[in-house]
Amino acid sequence: MCDLVRERRHRPSCRATRRKDGRQQANSGGIPFCWPQFGPGAIQQHGFARNLDWTVAEQTDSKVVMELSENEYTMDMWPHEFQLRYTVTLKDDRLATDFSVTNTGKSMLDFTGALHTYWSCDNIDKVAIKSPAFAGATYLDKMLSPPADVKSTTDTIKIGKEVDSVYAGVSGDVVLEGAHKSPLTIKNTLGWSDTVVWSPYGNEDMGYKNFLCVESAQAATSVQLKPGEYWTGAMEVVP
C-alpha cells in the first residue's frame, strides 16, 4: 500500500544483525527511528531507539501499539527516564503513525528525532518530491564541506546527485511523484516540524536507484520536555 522499502538484503551492512554486545543493528528499510538524536552528536549516530527491542503493548487486526522505556543500556548513553509509545494504524485509505515521547524522569530532557522512512521507487531519476513549503525554505546541506544553510528556489526536489538535506519548517503535505504509477502524500499532521531528504545517489552497493528517504523530522531544533510533559509526532501516508 505505502511502497515502503523492505530491508535491503543485498547489502550485508544494512541487515538487522547482532553486534558483539548482542544488540540489534539498524535496518535500512521500513521506518526506523532516529531518537533521541538525529544524525551525529553526543551519542551514537541517530540515537538508540532503532537498535532496541520494543514491547508490543496492544495489537488488533488494524493497529499495533509498541512501547520503549529506559534501561541500563540507554541510561549509560543518555541519562534520562522516558517512555516512547508508537502506534501504527491501517485505515481504509491511509497508514497512520503516532509517535509519543513522555518525560517520566525528574529533570528536563531534550531530543531531536525523525522517522527515517525508506520509500521504494522504480527509478530515482524519475522521482519528484513536491511541497509548496520547499520554495523559499532554508535547508541544511550536509553534502557541503562544511555543511551550510542554503535557500531553496523551487517547490520541487529532483535527485541527480548524493543528497543529505534538512528542510527546516517544511512540514504539512509532501508529495512523492514518479516513484511508481501513482503518487503518494506524506502528511505531517502533528509535531514533526521539518523534512529530511536523503539519497546515496550513485552508490551501486546500496541500490540507490530503487529507494529514497523522505523523513518526517524534528531535526532543526530540539524538543524540551519538563518532567511529566509529552510530545507527539503524527504522520500519515496517503496513496
Q: Which of 20-24, 52-56, 212-216 has the lowest mean pLDDT?
A: 20-24
Predicted TM-score (pTM) of this structure: 0.88
Asked whether residue 163 carries a pLDDT value surpassing 60, the answer given is: yes
Assigned domain for 1 exists: no
Those residues with Cβ within 8 angstroms of residue 21's Cβ, 6 or more apart along the chain or in another chain:
none
* Interval 215-229: pLDDT, tens: 999 999 999 999 999
Place of cell 541544511: 140
Range(s) of the domain holding residue 53: 12-238
Average pLDDT score over residue span 55-76: 98
24 or 190: which carries more pLDDT confidence? 190
Assigned domain for 7 exists: no
Q: What is the CATH number of the domain that holds 166?
A: 2.70.98.10
Split at pLDDT 50, 70, 90, the class of 16 is very low
Assigned domain for 5 exists: no
Those residues with Cβ within 8 angstroms of residue 237's Cβ, 6 or more apart along the chain or in another chain:
1, 2, 94, 95, 97, 184, 185, 186, 187
Query: Distance (Å, rounded) from C-alpha 136 to C-alpha 33?
Result: 28
| Number of residues that make up the chain | 239
Asked whether residue 187 carries a pLDDT value surpassing 80, the answer given is: yes
Maximum CA pair distance of the chain? 51
Pick the closest to residue 186 from 157, 149, 229 (CA basis): 157
Assigned domain for 125 exists: yes
Q: Based on the structure, what is the number of domains in the chain?
A: 1
Q: Give the pLDDT confidence score for residue 19 in this predicted structure.
A: 46
Q: Give the pLDDT confidence score for residue 26 in this predicted structure.
A: 52
Asked whether residue 15 carries a pLDDT value surpassing 50, the answer given is: no
